[in-house]
Amino acid sequence: MNTLRLAWRLLKRDWYVGELKILVLALIIAVASITSIGIFTQRIDLAMHDQTGRFLGADLMLNSPRPVDKQILDKADSLQLQISKSLLFSTVVVANNEYQLAQVKAVDDHYPLLGKIEYTRQLYGDTIESANGPPAGKAWLTQRLLKRLQLKAGEPFELGDSELLVGGILKHDPGQAGSFMPIAPRMLMHYSDVGRTGIIQPGSRITYQYLFSGKLADRERFARWLKSRLNPTDRLIGGKQGSPALNTALDRAEQYLALASMLSVMLAGIAIAMAANRYGQRHFDQTALLRCMGATQSRLVKLYSLQLVMVGTVASVLGCLLGYAAQQGLVLVMVELLPDNLPHPGYAPFITGFLSGLLTLSGFSLPAILRLKSVPPLRVLRRDSMPLPISAVFVYGLALLSITGLMWWQSGNLSLTLIVLLGTLACVLILTVLSTIMIALSRYLLGYLQGPWRTGLMQVIRYRRANQLQILALGLALMILLTVLLLRIDLLDRWQSQLPAHAPNHFVINIQANEVKPLADYFQGQGITTEGLYPMVRARISAINDVPVLEAVPAGARIDEALKRELNISWASSLQKNNKLLDGQWWTQADSGKYLISVEWGLADRLNLKLGDTLSFQSADKQFKARIRSFRKVQWDSFQPNFYIIFPPATINEYPHSYISSFYLSSEMKDIINELIREFPGLTVIEIDAIMQQVKVILDQVTLAVEYVMLFVLIAGLVVLLASLQSSMDERIHTAIIMRTLGAKRAFLRKGQLAEFTLLGLFSGLLAIAGTEIITYGLYSRVFKLGFELHMPFWILGPATGIVLILLTGWLYTRRVIMQPPARILDN
Amino acid sequence: MTPDLILSARKLCKHVPSLDGSSRQMIHILNGVELEIKSGETIAILGKSGSGKSTLLGLLAGLDLPTDGDVYFDNIRLNALDEDGRAELRLDKVGFVFQSFQLLPNLTALENVMLPLELKSDANAQAHARALLQRVELGNRLQHFPRQLSGGEQQRVAIARAFVARPAIVFADEPTGNLDTTTSAHIIELLFEVNREQQTTLVMVTHDENLASLCQRRLLLEDGIIREASP
């Protein structure tokens, strides 16, 4: 208890001496950075889950080709999960002597468990949101189906043995998970009507769909329980088991954001280590006295550890609060990308931030504090008695261990952590070499400089170790900021400007075979040049050389997007323009009807395919095989319809297919799209330029978010500046007093200091922009395949930012140095 | 050992490497010091600058270990204790007054004096410290920080701190070394008064003959050995 009181009292008084404030400030920045990203990602996770729920119409979806065991439903019931049952099947709907294949979903009274169904009572009527599906005896049909059957709302149609009424026009069904481009139009009906249609017969191809919703803990328990009981043909979607691809992408973005925030923790850690070191050194005398009075080593360790915990607690709590506020800012920055009403965060990010604070503090300050216990009591009599130096392995090892641990904890991914860590270390190494050269070369300038500039440069050289750290810390932060800023401003513009003029900016899909001719005529009539109309069959690659595909491909390719979904495959007699044959042969007329394929080279490479390999495909309930005849290089950004797999003519045309085309439309001709849809209501038009605009917004906002996180890094860099200034403060004051005693005017000292900070800022900025150019050169030439030019405005922006930041911070912090009265030379 | 002996040194030697750091060139600061101090005695150790007075004080107080020989404190052989063991002994039985006061700059006068009691977990630390500060005529300076006090006042705080835990022995290292003559006289008067009141053993290192003359015994450290100084 007494040690606690003593620790508190000594700490309270120590507060007025600079380094504790710096230590606390650094820790606040580190914790705020971690907490803000933590809260932000958690809120997005919660929102994403919410969206997944709306996307599925439930929290969990179980699809099975047969009714599931009763015990599964009993288990869900016992866990108080809500349950809804649906049936999915394809069947022919008849009306007005028109026959149309439709995808039917029969839903019970509980459907959907989450989200709302949108429908209209009349064609083009007001949209109605409904918490349930259609009542018994009625069905909601999509506009496309309605048109094909020439039906109107309220009219009857035949479904199997029964007759149903059109109750509404289906606009949006929350449970329409999966299919982006369904071949057949869709319809929603009541579960209880299925029996009397007589459609469900033994052997019918039906999907039994079960939806579950409930509390997170309950459904996770249920999902865990269920997983081991599923048949291979059953599919559980939702929760952590089958999150959509978007979630995976967002997860990865979150990981990177969390790791980026770690950079501020690293810099803050350096500032903490410097401040703790000075704190330790300043406490040699106090410690010697306490030892002299009889304090044991363990008691001193306890005393200083308690102080550490107190400082850590206060700073971490403040950091958490600041992190919460900063996270609101981040939400504002990314407002257009985020769903409305982001859910509130739980306690977890705060606890993580708090514990991270304590871990950072102990990882970076413990060596300096532990050194105190070895201060010899004899120091009270002989001031040259010093404690044993601490092993460098221990100091750097502990710091590295704690930062690696933190990064691993934050990202949940060890290999990513190590990559980022090693990447940062490599960056630091390069920047260290550059800054060493810079400082070494600056010596040669000394002969050419006079007055304050000479004094300033001499100061830079005199404190070169601390200054180098400073140049590095700020240079690194500025470098990342400049890189991100440059990519945001430069990249998309350059990419867009490199696209050929009049590149297609619209895709049109879901064109039926009977619409091909009228559509081509329509385009011709309107004077629109298309990239041609291409047939498209949806099929999944199921096997390679008769080995199931997941076993046949290399381990790294098992998560390939192309294996997760159905591919659009096509047939063609000649090679498309912008396609280039890399290997093998294109087919001749004689090959028509043969099951040969040409495969896109990138896919072939990823899946390790060879010429002559046989691929098996699954399209709906049909299977077919084909041998690889050639590999093609495809220019994906040509915006013409491109395909991974192409067959010769007269092969897969027997499978359900639709057509795709693309064309260029200037902005003043946009009205044609409406006309086109009125004329061909079944078509779907995708506006690429709108998507590009969306991509730009996403890129803008994501880079803004990264820049936002980098602000923490920048602030942490400035705290390193404060810590390094603090460590040289006594010497600076001493020098200033001597200079003043010798007759230097305050103005002279002030100018000298300003010159020193200007030079430091200049060096940081130059280092930053040099690093930025190296990184962008690498990215442009290797990743984006764009030409590289130096970014001259950034050569001014970088150093100017460095100078302003260091000048302001440094000057504010060291003002008092020149205010010292020369009479202090007489003090002890 | 005689029952009322509180401190004794047997063949105490302290050798340190020369400033150039070579172990072959050793400086022999103490060369077999023999010393016995009885409980309640006041002793002055005299010697020129650099004669090893402070080194001897450090060894006697258990702040440092001898190269050779032994120090017995209350029948306990200090060499046999580790640094923490010696720290506990100091906590129980030793007080210090230093030439440069050695007050903690961030603590008030009162808090500085409370420090030894707080290390001993004394529940009445504040009351005791307050009483002793009043005794050294600093009752009106309790909340002042060292920098707000004069040299004499700081040394009075240090005296209060040395005696507050009622130690068996107080070591004083040139207690008036940093003070002017008038202030020194007052400080010495106070030191001896408090020492008398508490019947503490006082071991004082000084080069001031006048100050030494106030002690019951005066020892002279010369050429690394100690002998009774002539009156």
Most confident listed range (A122-136, A342-356, B192-206)? B192-206
Identify the pLDDT of residue A48: 66
Q: What's the maximum distance between 2 C-alpha atoms anywhere in chain A?
A: 111
Q: What is the pLDDT of residues B12-38, one digit of tens each?
A: 999 888 766 555 678 888 999 999 999
**Cα–Cα distance measured from residue A637 to residue A635, given in angstroms and rounded to the nearest whole number:** 6
State yes or no: pLDDT of A434 exceeds 50. yes
Tell me the average pLDDT across A441-469. 81
pLDDT above 70 coverage of chain A, percent: 88
| A292 with B54: Cβ contact below 8 A | no
| A294 with B116: Cβ contact below 8 A | yes
Return the minimum-mean-pLDDT range out of A237-241, A422-426, B152-156: A237-241
| A293 with B88: Cβ contact below 8 A | no
Return the minimum-mean-pLDDT range out of A311-315, A777-781, B198-202: A777-781
State yes or no: pLDDT of A182 exceeds 50. no
**Cα–Cα distance measured from residue A348 to residue A351, given in angstroms and rounded to the nearest whole number:** 5
Return the minimum-mean-pLDDT range out of A45-49, A194-198, A581-585: A45-49
Which residues on chain A are in Cβ contact (under 8 Å) with B98?
Answer: 380-381
Identify the pLDDT of residue A245: 41
CB of A56 closer than 8 Å to CB of A237: yes
Which residues on chain B are in Cβ contact (under 8 Å) with A824?
Answer: none
Q: Point out which residues pair with A138 in neighbouring strands.
A: A165
Q: How far is A295 from chain B (nearest CA, A)?
A: 6
| A1 with B89: Cβ contact below 8 A | no
Identify the pLDDT of residue A51: 64
Tell me the average pLDDT across A290-312. 90
User: How does the average pLDDT of chain A come out, rounded?
Assistant: 82
- Hey, is the C-beta of B209 within 8 angstroms of any chain A C-beta? no
Look at the block and give the residue holding tokens 């949101």.
A129
Identify the pLDDT of residue B68: 93
The chain A residue lying nearest B170, using CA atoms, is A293
Identify the pLDDT of residue A204: 62
Tokens of B49: 């600058």
State yes or no: pLDDT of A826 exceeds 60. no
| A380 with B115: Cβ contact below 8 A | no
DSSP-assigned states of every residue in B32-59: EEEEEEETT-EEEEE--TTSSHHHHHHH
| A294 with B104: Cβ contact below 8 A | no
Tell me the average pLDDT across B66-85. 90
CB of A647 closer than 8 Å to CB of A565: no
Cα dihedral sign, A772-A773-A779-A784 = positive
Identify the pLDDT of residue A246: 45
Q: What is the pLDDT of residues A717-739, one digit of tens each?
A: 888 888 888 877 887 887 787 77
State yes or no: pLDDT of B163 exceeds 90. yes
**Cα–Cα distance measured from residue A116 to residue A695, given in angstroms and rounded to the nearest whole number:** 28
| B84 with A2: Cβ contact below 8 A | no
Identify the pLDDT of residue A203: 57
**Cα–Cα distance measured from residue B229 to residue B231, given in angstroms and rounded to the nearest whole number:** 6
| B91 with A294: Cβ contact below 8 A | yes
**Cα–Cα distance measured from residue A397 to residue A298, given in angstroms and rounded to the nearest whole number:** 23
Cα dihedral sign, A564-A566-A568-A570 = positive
Cα dihedral sign, A212-A213-A218-A224 = positive
Which DSSP category does A780 fall into? I
Interface probe with A: pick from B83, B147, B174, most Cβ of A within 10 Å: B83
The chain B residue lying nearest A379, using CA atoms, is B63
Give the other-Cβ count within 10 Å of A259's Cβ: 22
Q: Point out which residues pair with B220 in neighbouring strands.
A: B46, B227
Return the minimum-mean-pLDDT range out of A388-397, A542-551, B62-71: A388-397
- Hey, is the C-beta of A282 within 8 angstroms of any chain B C-beta? no
Helix (H) or strand (E) segment spanning residue A663 = strand A657-663
Which residues on chain B are in Cβ contact (under 8 Å) with A14?
Answer: 106
Most confident listed range (A209-223, A292-306, A636-650, A684-698)? A292-306
ipTM confidence score: 0.78
Return the minimum-mean-pLDDT range out of A465-479, A535-549, A624-638, A676-690: A676-690
The CA angle B154-B173-B194, to the nearest 5 degrees, is: 60
Closest to B26 in 3D by CA, of B37, B35, B34, B15: B15
| A9 with B92: Cβ contact below 8 A | no
pLDDT greater at residue A789 or residue B202: B202
Q: What is the pLDDT of residues A361-373, one digit of tens each?
A: 988 888 888 888 8
CB of A565 closer than 8 Å to CB of A619: no
- Hey, is the C-beta of A310 within 8 angstroms of any chain B C-beta? no
Closest to A371 in 3D by CA, of A354, A391, A351: A391
Q: How far is B102 from chain A (nearest CA, A)?
A: 7
**Cα–Cα distance measured from residue A644 to residue A255, given in angstroms and rounded to the nearest whole number:** 31
Return the minimum-mean-pLDDT range out of A371-385, A514-528, A682-696, B47-61: A682-696
Banded pLDDT at A242 (limits 50, 70, 90):
very low
The chain B residue lying nearest A16, using CA atoms, is B106
CB of A505 closer than 8 Å to CB of A689: yes
pLDDT greater at residue B57 or residue A200: B57
Which residues on chain B are in Cβ contact (under 8 Å) with A378?
Answer: 58, 63-64
Q: What is the pLDDT of residues A67-95, one digit of tens each?
A: 888 899 999 999 999 999 999 887 778 88
Interface probe with A: pick from B84, B93, B107, most Cβ of A within 10 Å: B84
Identify the pLDDT of residue A398: 85
- How far from chain centre, in Å, is Cα A504? 29
State residue A87 phi and psi, 5-degree precision: -120, 135
The chain A residue lying nearest B83, using CA atoms, is A296
Closest to B17 in 3D by CA, of B29, B34, B3: B29
CB of B169 closer than 8 Å to CB of B42: no
Closest to A581 in 3D by CA, of A595, A607, A606, A600: A600
| A297 with B94: Cβ contact below 8 A | no
Give the contacts of B214 (CB within 8 A, at least 6 positions apart).
Answer: B42, B44, B188, B192
Banded pLDDT at A241 (limits 50, 70, 90):
very low
State yes or no: pLDDT of A248 exceeds 90. no
Q: How far is A461 from chain B (nearest CA, A)?
A: 30
State yes or no: pLDDT of A108 exceeds 90. yes
Which residues on chain A are in Cβ contact (under 8 Å) with B84?
Answer: 296-298
- Hey, is the C-beta of B16 within 8 angstroms of any chain A C-beta? no
| A9 with B116: Cβ contact below 8 A | no
Task: Please give the model's pTM, rounded to 2 decimal places.
Answer: 0.67
Banded pLDDT at A495 (limits 50, 70, 90):
low
Which residues on chain A are in Cβ contact (under 8 Å) with B120?
Answer: 294
Q: How far is B121 from chain A (nearest CA, A)?
A: 6
Identify the pLDDT of residue A463: 78
State yes or no: pLDDT of A425 exceeds 60. yes
- How far from chain centre, in Å, is Cα A80? 35
- Hey, is the C-beta of A292 within 8 angstroms of any chain B C-beta? yes
- Hey, is the C-beta of B83 within 8 angstroms of any chain A C-beta? yes
Which residues on chain A are in Cβ contact (under 8 Å) with B115?
Answer: 6, 290, 293
Q: What is the pLDDT of residues A665-718, one digit of tens each?
A: 887 777 787 778 667 766 767 777 766 666 666 667 767 777 777 788 888 888
State yes or no: pLDDT of A177 exceeds 50. no
Identify the pLDDT of residue A568: 83
Identify the pLDDT of residue A240: 44
| B104 with A10: Cβ contact below 8 A | yes
Tell me the average pLDDT across B103-132. 88
- Hey, is the C-beta of A10 within 8 angstroms of any chain B C-beta? yes
| A294 with B90: Cβ contact below 8 A | yes
Give the other-Cβ count within 10 Å of A737's Cβ: 20
Which residues on chain A are in Cβ contact (under 8 Å) with B64?
Answer: 376-378
How would you classify the pairing of strands B217-222 and B42-46?
A: parallel
Look at the block and give the residue holding tokens 């491909």.
A553
Q: How far is CA A20 from CA A273, A310, A316, A397, A569, in A?
A: 11, 12, 14, 23, 66
pLDDT greater at residue A477 or residue A615: A615
- Hey, is the C-beta of A285 within 8 angstroms of any chain B C-beta? yes
| B92 with A285: Cβ contact below 8 A | no
Identify the pLDDT of residue A339: 64
DSSP-assigned states of every residue in A304-332: HHHHHHHHHHHHHHHHHHHHHHHHHHHHH
Q: What is the 3-state secondary structure (H, E, C) of A470-489?
A: HHHHHHHHHHHHHHHHHHHH
**Cα–Cα distance measured from residue B132 to residue B166, given in angstroms and rounded to the nearest whole number:** 11
